[in-house]
Structure 1
Amino acid sequence: MSSLVDVVRAGRAKAVPELVKSMTAAERKEALTGLKALRAEVRDWSWDRWAERQKVHDALLIAGTGCLTGAADTAAWLGSREMRGTFEVEHEPLLDLLAERDARWLGNLAHRLAGRTATARVDYPLIAGLVRLAGCALPDTDEFVYGWVDAAGARGGPADSLRDDPWLAVMVPRLFTTADVPGPFTRRHDDPRHWASVLPALAAEGLVERRPLVDGTIARLLRGGRRPADSAFFLSLLGRLEPTAGEKRDHLADWTAMAADGTPTVAEHAQRVLAELAVSGALPTRDLADVSGSVLFRPERRLVRAQLVLVGKVLRAEPAAAGALLPVVAETFGHEDSGIQERALKLVARHLPAVDAGIRSELAGYAALLAPVHRARAVEVFGEPVADADWTPYEEILPPVPLPTRSRPAPSDLAELVEEVSALISSRAVPGECFERVLDGLVRHAYRDRQALAAALRAALAGRWWLREPPERDLDNAFGWETHQLEVVTAAVCGLVSVRTLRDAAKRAAAGRCCAHTVLDGVVDARFREVAHLMCTRPLPFLLATPTWETGALDPEVLVERLGEYRRLSVTPAPVDFAQALLRVRRAGHPEAARAAAALGTPEADRLAAWLTGGGAALPALDLAEVPEPRDGDGSPEGRPRWPGLLRPVLRPVLRPVLRPEKAGRRPTVRREFPPAFHWLDGPVRPTRSGCFHWEEYRNPGWPKVLPEDPDTLAGWLLPGVAACAKEDHRGGAWWLLPLAEGGGTAGPSLHRAVAYGLGARQPQDRLSAVDALLVLAARGDLDGRSLGAELGALVRSGAVKPNRLVDSVRTAAATGAYATVWSVLGAALPPLLAPVPGDGKSTRSRSGAGNGIGEILSVAADCAERCGAAQEIRGLPELAGRGGTSRAVAQAARLLAALRQGSERSRP
């Protein structure tokens, strides 16, 4: 027993099997106790012994497997994550060691290992070996199937290995029943050695049955998949199987369901199969009408057009079917695309003589759904006036205006405070509104009884890395360079960080101007560092900057009251805390608070009074007149000198007084009155990505609460992140648009420009954030549709925003009922988009500023204008509508022009 434990401790895994074989059952049982103790010991080794730990774990896996007697215990031992560093295990020594066991026991172990979702796939060689030794039935779990597929590809590819596989007939039908598609199926469909080519070849050779392959493939297409590549494999496989006409007829209901609800590629294939059946007469008219009713209202215009073509072919071959098919086609008069409406109207007009008077009247009733541009043609077709679809005055639907919510007070109970602190630290949450009240609670409790607070924190946070004995890291060095958010404060309360380290860290400047992340994170970290330092030197009774509203805003009356309490207690405000309070306080319309602050007579109260009355320090970063200019195609501000990166520190002090002489004298005032973390306030907002090292989705909910009353300044700093979502296809850079739109302050040019970039973001979640911000700004009355439209027009013309992404965003916004809001934006964006762009010299014909996407933009604009009754002259629209031709841009321009003229008539008194 001791020899086995010594060999395992030495990490000699290769020597374990022979040693275990030589042991008796009693010796193995005795050795198992030592192995379990060694496993517990290794679990507590420090991270720097990782290589030694891995060798011991490899030996432990084999030794424990040989000593355990129960199949369940053995499966749990082999599946232990802590002992599987590389996650894969060497199966040869394990099979050699277990070969002496009973066949029934081996089969039980194999099925238990196959049922472990986390490890069964990589353990396939071990499980397969156990099945061969036991001679038992194959496991039926999905992970075992995935492992079989991986193993077939590893042995030279499925073309070489499957022909000799004894389990081929059993495993192939299971390929179509797994929850997910095996990974190798989704790669290299064109390779003749790929599964999509090998399986039909095996069926042709008679090694597997063909019918299960066809049925399984169609069933899998009907189920769909989580990724587009999943369906692509089964479509490729089905194409190589080449189903016969009889096999296609046998799955008529499946094709119908795929065409109605399948992904676009699957629906398109099903539609082609149904077209073959319909043309050959194998598809009954009633079934064609049912599937057409589903396909004609799919959002993919290509599918809808193809279905109309199919119905037209059937009607030409069988005119008597018009009575069943035309009512389905007439329902398409309400399709969102006016081009589809026009095609449907032409199809109905062509076959209208074949229906009786009752159906003709029914079809005429559907004409009220047509867009106004098609109403005149409908009158010609049906010979009677078209109803105006019960026109009523338009009513805009916008989300409710967000109501301000007061922040909860700091926890007064020590147990409640410690519980919240522990939850925040354990969850690794980023600073937000909850951090403000918890931080204030820590300050209040430390002021009353720091020893009791420290004892409670030590007990609740006993597992944290900075409370272990001995500490895993040098705490002074760790907290000197990084706050670890709330942990630097709790560590300071517990007396684990030296005062010198906290003082030096607090003096360190927050961040440079390399990016908004360092600027805003610097403010948040400066608050943590300052509070941690004051905990050990002069505890404060409470914090001044704790918000009174969840947006981060601070009522001036509350701040005056807090300053009065500080004066009564003879407490000097902390610099960072007071500076943050100034930036959070509501400045407009509070003369009484300004007079009350001036009456206190303290320096900080005087600064607050000047701040409320507009006589405080001038902060160029908060000057809305100094936002970045609109950007040209390469992303550089127009008319602004470009400073090379290496020369910027040298040229900036020289050129700033020349370029902005009125701002040159403000920097000393900012440096004198604000701590280093806020020195970025000395200049205008200059968003730049140079030097930014943060990942794309980096975010901090505490940023909007740094400047809750100046959202446009924040938008200016954060603008590069959302611009990268549009121009560089990044993700996650638009999350802050909605918090800024819901907060206070003025929505200026920077925020509107950020929303414009967000509407053109690559990722749908970023576009939805911009749509939500757009609707909230409109609900609050802060949206400048003309300004936003001008931004969008410039960005689309420059190529920074792609038209198809903009179309998706504005269509989503309009679908909520905000048609007038969307029109106010698109009405201002259309003139620059319709303005011609000179060609490249090879063609004399100019194109629009939106390129090929102008037709889709005009379609959404026309829909909005029709619904809200807009009346406006759009420069360049009549010229495009009168150009002639059948392009989508010309058709939608004519539609929009007709809608605007009709809106003008309705707008007359």
Structure 2
Amino acid sequence: MTGREAEELMMGAGAVTRGTEKAVGTTKAEGEGQPVGIEKLIEAVRGGRADDVPALLEGLGAAERSTAVAKLKSLRTEVRGWETKRPREAADAQRALYVAGAGCHAGASAAATWLGGRDLVPWRSEGCGPALRAVSDRSPEWLADVAGRLAARPAVAEHSYELIRGMVERSGCAVPATDGYVLGWAWQFRAGSRWRRSFEGPELLERLREDPQTPVLVLHALSMAESPDQLTWTVTEAPHAHWPTAVATLVGEGLLDRAEVLGAAVSRLLRGGRPRDLRFPMEVLRLVEPTAEEFRERIPDLVGMTADTPSPIAGYAQEVLAGLAADGALPTAMLSEMTSAVLFRTEKKLLRAQLTLVGKALARDPGAAAELLPAVAEVFGNEDTELQGRALKLVGRHLAAVDASVRRELAGQAGLLSPQHRQAATELFGEVLEVGAGVPYEEILPPVPEPQRVEPPAATVEELVEDMLTKGVSDDPVRFERALDGLVRHAHRDRAEVTRAVREAFTTKSWQEPHHFTYDFRGLHAVLAGLLGLLEPSWIEDRRAREPESTACFHEVLTGIVHARLWEAAALIGTDALPFLLASPTVSTGGIDPQVLVERLRAYRDAGVEPAPADLAQALLRVLRTGPDIERVEEEASALGTVAGRRLAAWLRTDEPPAATVRFLAREEDRTLERWYVHQRVVVELADRAVVREEFPPAFRWLGGTLETAPRRCYHWISAEGHWTSILPSDREVLAALIVPSLARAGGTQDTTGPLTGLAEAEGRVGPAVALALALGMGYGDADDRLRAVDALLVLASRGDLDARQVGEELGWLVTEGVVKPNRLADATRTAAATGAYATVWAVLGAALPGLLSAAPPVRGLGEVLAVAADCVERCGARGELPGLAGVASAKGSSQLVVQAKRLLAALG
């Protein structure tokens, strides 16, 4: 009902006389002090009738709207509670709240805050029509202010595009060129709304022509750090919606300023970023087809693009600059700067093209040699010896054109050349290269890492809460264990204070549902839920006592140990049964000083407390069993006179720690698998340990040999892997065997080799399982994962624990099986060698290569591995024979395989 209709009704009934208030909003509800108009507004909002709200607002004055704001805020809080049980009603009410708040807030700042609320922002502008009607009476200045505030918030602007656009058009203000607004604008072209049409033929181009905001927003879209999805589609994916083609057409028609478009595209490419985000400006630049004059104006930007942008962008800029150089339009100084930039990159195609470009430039202008050859000499230190040779020949052809000072500079750079090119360099530069000759080779390995002492837990509840709220605390085993021990200690001292602090600091609503903790590792939250009494004790006890099935995958059972400790702590926290944790590590590797564990058990005995089973079991697995005083510690443990003390003493004395072996099923052993993945063929055999099966709690008994000896076909998401190494910090061969299936399973994914770092720094026997784990890590697809494996390899070498031959043999097998690609092996070993560990890397490759050289058919890409091996041999001076090498080296042809085989054969001889 409109305000006019209500007034007429009231006048007809004799409800009003001259001088009375005319608006419905000022009429009191019978028996109430609230105006009827406000009540009807709130009723409509509560019922989710957003389309009715603008009409109801018409009858409310400024004072009534201000009064309504408080009620809307209260209702908004109430509606948030509907989301889980009444989601549809909540969505309708929130849409109506969105509209009502737009019309009731008088200030632009308050209105923008309301319209930008995360619970109210509509999905892709739904509900903006009624909201625009609700603010139709506002001034242009108010509309412009609100539009600007909303456009400045990316997520809000994207989903409120239609509202912002309506305000911009009604106010006449400038188009808000922001990322969020452009995202919403681009979405409208895809989805329709006020522009709804069929998506056929040249529609995108036509609609861009019609839109007066196109010139401003296209320029901003070209400059965005993350391009909207629609703008990155290729012609193949959506030829009718190819934005670069449309933009280029509009540039040709003059609707878009050519110089501005070119400047925006080049500027964005110069900043670099993900290839996906550079696709739009790159395609626009290609299709606009800048003239030679336009390129000459942007030579510094093009040179910058060759330095830091992704390979396709750098290649494009290189081609353009090569064309300018051929026309004599590229100054020598800029060519020199470009050459230094490109030759610093790693892409061989770009490096070869740049050497060719410099060669042509010197052929045209020999006088440029003094400026260009020092840049070419940067290649002397490149890892690719073939490129080194090309650069050396180029320098040799033009060396006569430079003076003595440049010659000395080039000779100094020649010291970086591989030994393969030293003779040619000596003939070129003379005795100057002899400086430093005869210096014996010295292997460089990283310093042996010393375990760091773990800091004691937080001293106050405030510090404890701060530790628990720190981002990533559950992912870092050291910080996690420190926080967990601190939580247990403080809860034992004053449970009420810790409970109060936790309720204030954490959002605990989801903890009341057991399924929240069922499928994933939740870290400290499980213990906090137990502290607050949010979970049924029977449910906690069931999880605490659960024993893994005999067919469980290894990452399940490893994570199961972590879970068992958490649920045990959740059941006992804040009681006298758990004053502190026995299993809290004392060193960063996860190990426990045996003397410290004895003191902890003594404190338990003196307090009359029996150790919690999972806590004691984890403490035994973590205790360090080596050291000069280990016999004395055994005696002290026995002297405690407790069951736990005797168990510790026996554990320290045992010569049979948990043990495991790893083998692979041969293909013929199981023909039921249609496709052979390495992780499906890994078999881990755990030693039979009666003491573990009989004395340890259920979650640990599998370490005594209760799991079936069979391949593990894992279908679970891997979780809590950061904690695996701290479970068995004194038994790294067992730990390696257990993580091998996960390493084999996830060979192409990222962030999976993290446990290798802890494995290298842990204690205990090193055997074939450690070797296989390293080999798998060195073959990962992600460079960061390979780097972690390389670090682990070098740490083991520095500790004297690396069996290089065994790692090499495993790598040879994995490459032959197709699990590890030769280019990844070459990258990993090259990275390791570059640290100065040439002899170590050669020891690995020397064991891997015999099987690879004899493989039939030849391993594709093996030449790159041979190049790394040859470089290592040349630098460390190794000598000897390599089975199969002579046969490959004697083959005809100039492939990299043959060339590098000959080089390696010569170096070994």
TM bucket normalised to smaller: 0.7 to 0.9
Deviation at 1:513, TM superposition (A): 4.2
1:493 and 1:192 map into 2 onto residues whose CA distance is 60
Equivalent position to 2:700, from 678, 686, 697: 678
Aligned to 1:868: 876
Gap runs ≥5 in structure 1: 646-655, 840-846, 902-909
The one-letter amino acid of 1:215's match is G
Bigger mean CA offset, 750-759 vs 155-164: 155-164
Aligned to 1:627: 661
Aligned to 1:649: none
1:347 and 1:246 map into 2 onto residues whose CA distance is 31
Conserved? CA contact 1:454–1:494, under 8 Å? no
2:833 and 2:132 map into 1 onto residues whose CA distance is 65
2:570 and 2:893 map into 1 onto residues whose CA distance is 72
Q: Please give the secondary structure, in 1, of the residue aligned with 2:156.
A: coil
Deviation at 1:416, TM superposition (A): 5.7
Q: 1:63 to 1:678 in 2, by over 3 A?
A: same
* 1:102-501 mapped onto 2 (5 Å cutoff): 102-154=139-191, 155=195, 156=199, 157-190=203-236, 191=239, 193-224=241-272, 226-322=273-369, 324-352=371-399, 367-378=414-425, 386-387=433-434, 390-409=437-456, 415=461, 419=465, 423=469, 429-430=474-475, 432-440=477-485, 453-462=494-503, 473=512, 485-487=523-525, 489-490=527-528, 492=530, 500-501=538-539
The one-letter amino acid of 2:179's match is D
Deviation at 1:187, TM superposition (A): 1.2
Bigger mean CA offset, 479-488 vs 345-354: 479-488
Q: Please give the secondary structure, in 2, of the residue aligned with 1:546.
A: coil
Q: 1:192 to 1:384 in 2, by over 3 A?
A: farther
Conserved? CA contact 1:106–1:131, under 8 Å? yes
TM-score, normalised with respect to structure 2: 0.85
Deviation at 1:149, TM superposition (A): 3.2
Q: Please give the secondary structure, in 2, of the residue aligned with 1:401.
A: coil
Conserved? CA contact 1:372–1:895, under 8 Å? no
| 1:592 is the counterpart of 2:632 | yes
Aligned to 2:27: none
1:482 and 1:354 map into 2 onto residues whose CA distance is 69
Conserved? CA contact 1:560–1:593, under 8 Å? yes
Aligned to 1:651: none
Q: Please give the secondary structure, in 1, of the residue aligned with 2:585.
A: coil
Aligned to 1:652: none
2:804 and 2:140 map into 1 onto residues whose CA distance is 77
Equivalent position to 1:7, from 44, 50, 57: 44
Q: 1:600 to 1:637 in 2, by over 3 A?
A: farther
Aligned to 1:879: 887
Conserved? CA contact 1:511–1:522, under 8 Å? no
Conserved? CA contact 2:224–2:268, under 8 Å? no
Equivalent position to 2:547, from 499, 506, 509: 509
| 1:63 is the counterpart of 2:84 | no
1:873 and 1:290 map into 2 onto residues whose CA distance is 45
Deviation at 1:236, TM superposition (A): 2.2
Deviation at 1:158, TM superposition (A): 2.5
Deviation at 1:493, TM superposition (A): 5.0
Conserved? CA contact 1:514–1:688, under 8 Å? no
Deviation at 1:13, TM superposition (A): 1.3
Bigger mean CA offset, 398-407 vs 748-757: 398-407
The one-letter amino acid of 1:201's match is T
Bigger mean CA offset, 603-612 vs 260-269: 603-612
Deviation at 1:363, TM superposition (A): 5.3
Aligned to 2:15: none
2:570 and 2:185 map into 1 onto residues whose CA distance is 57
Deviation at 1:4, TM superposition (A): 0.7
Aligned to 2:53: 16
Deviation at 1:78, TM superposition (A): 0.9
1:298 and 1:770 map into 2 onto residues whose CA distance is 24
Aligned to 1:575: 613
Deviation at 1:72, TM superposition (A): 1.8
User: Considering only aligned residues, what root-mean-square deviation do their CA atoms show, in Å?
Assistant: 3.6
Bigger mean CA offset, 714-723 vs 509-518: 509-518
1:478 and 1:331 map into 2 onto residues whose CA distance is 57
Aligned to 2:29: none
Bigger mean CA offset, 113-122 vs 22-31: 22-31
Deviation at 1:305, TM superposition (A): 1.1
Conserved? CA contact 1:296–1:307, under 8 Å? yes
Deviation at 1:757, TM superposition (A): 0.8
CA offsets, 1:195-230, max 9 Å, x none? 211122222223333333333322332222x21123
Deviation at 1:800, TM superposition (A): 0.5
Deviation at 1:809, TM superposition (A): 2.0
2:152 and 2:389 map into 1 onto residues whose CA distance is 57
Q: Please give the secondary structure, in 1, of the residue aligned with 2:315.
A: helix
Bigger mean CA offset, 382-391 vs 332-341: 382-391
Equivalent position to 2:648, from 589, 600, 608: 608
Q: Please give the secondary structure, in 2, of the residue aligned with 1:139.
A: coil
Q: 1:280 to 1:96 in 2, by over 3 A?
A: same
Conserved? CA contact 2:499–2:531, under 8 Å? no
Aligned to 2:32: none
Q: 1:584 to 1:668 in 2, by over 3 A?
A: closer
Q: 1:838 to 1:822 in 2, by over 3 A?
A: closer
CA offsets, 1:162-205, max 9 Å, x none? 12222334444334344443332211245264121112222222
Conserved? CA contact 1:512–1:518, under 8 Å? no
Conserved? CA contact 2:527–2:569, under 8 Å? yes
Conserved? CA contact 1:372–1:898, under 8 Å? no
The one-letter amino acid of 2:705's match is G
Aligned to 1:50: 87
Conserved? CA contact 2:154–2:181, under 8 Å? no
Q: 1:160 to 1:386 in 2, by over 3 A?
A: same
Q: Please give the secondary structure, in 2, of the residue aligned with 1:628.
A: strand
Q: 1:85 to 1:317 in 2, by over 3 A?
A: closer
Deviation at 1:520, TM superposition (A): 1.8
Gap runs ≥5 in structure 2: 1-37, 675-682
Conserved? CA contact 2:121–2:159, under 8 Å? no
Aligned to 2:730: 709
Deviation at 1:399, TM superposition (A): 2.6
CA offsets, 1:320-377, max 9 Å, x none? 5445544543453333321112222333444456667776676566544432222344
Q: 1:766 to 1:194 in 2, by over 3 A?
A: same
Bigger mean CA offset, 270-279 vs 481-490: 481-490
| 1:804 is the counterpart of 2:823 | yes
2:383 and 2:507 map into 1 onto residues whose CA distance is 61
The one-letter amino acid of 2:308's match is D
Aligned residues: 851
The one-letter amino acid of 1:694's match is H
Conserved? CA contact 1:417–1:438, under 8 Å? no
1:235 and 1:440 map into 2 onto residues whose CA distance is 55
Q: Please give the secondary structure, in 2, of the residue aligned with 1:702.
A: helix
1:441 and 1:333 map into 2 onto residues whose CA distance is 56
By relative contact order (CA 8 Å, sep 6+), the higher-ranking structure is 1
2:215 and 2:672 map into 1 onto residues whose CA distance is 70
Conserved? CA contact 2:455–2:482, under 8 Å? yes
Q: 1:465 to 1:386 in 2, by over 3 A?
A: closer
CA offsets, 1:307-326, max 9 Å, x none? 22222323334445445544
Q: Please give the secondary structure, in 2, of the residue aligned with 1:627.
A: strand
